[in-house]
Amino acid sequence: MTAITLAQYVGPHSTSPDWTPMRTQSAVNLLTVTNSLLDMLVGLGVPMPINPATKSQISGQTFGGFRPQSCPQGAPNSSHKEGQGIDLFDPHEDIDDAITDAMLIMFGLYREAPSATKGWCHLTTRAPKSGRRSFLP
């Protein structure tokens, strides 16, 4: 079973005043559906590499999961800063290649278009303005 934990998601930002109970609950909701999707993908034989920097399936160095509002990466109130977005480590595009819109619908997720996320897969529970399951940022 593949599982990204809440501790991995919040990373070094667990003492940030921005890590509120509401954002924590949003992150729990995000991780529940993300982990279910990842389990499905593992069952289909999709590799789930571990990012050496985060020691998890979260991409980046420190900002692939939760981001405090003061984080220079991402827009103010981005899905990451609200506990609703995650970047998965996907160095060979295996995850992005395997995900279908039907899967995203099944789990209530949206993702940035694979063409905009080389080396990672961005998932969110927050619908973009377009309402499309795969969207350009």
Query: What average pLDDT does the segment 9-36 reach?
Result: 96
- Structural domain that includes position 30: 6-135
- Quick one: pLDDT band at residue 18, thresholds 50, 70, 90? very high
Domain count, the chain: 1
Say if 1 falls within a structural domain: no
Q: What is the CATH number of the domain that holds 61?
A: 3.30.1380
Nearest to 89 by CA among 55, 115, 66: 55
Cross-strand bridge partners of residue 111: 123, 134
Q: What is the pLDDT of residue 1?
A: 57
Residue predicted with more confidence, 2 or 31: 31
Query: Per-residue pLDDT tens for 42-71?
Result: 999 999 999 999 999 999 887 789 999 988
Buried b (16+ CB within 10 A) or exposed e, 92-109: eebbbebbeeebbeebeb
| pLDDT tens, residue by residue, 64-119 | 899 999 888 888 889 999 999 999 999 999 999 999 999 999 999 999 999 999 99
Identify the DSSP state of 17.
Answer: T
- The model carries a pTM of 0.94
Q: Can you tell me the distance from the alpha carbon of 137 to that of 127, in angstroms, rounded to the nearest whole number?
A: 12
**pLDDT band at 126, cuts 50/70/90?**
very high
Question: Considering the domain boundaries, does residue 65 fall inside one?
Answer: yes
Within a domain: residue 72?
Answer: yes
Do you know the residue count of the chain? Answer: 137
Q: Is residue 38 part of a domain?
A: yes
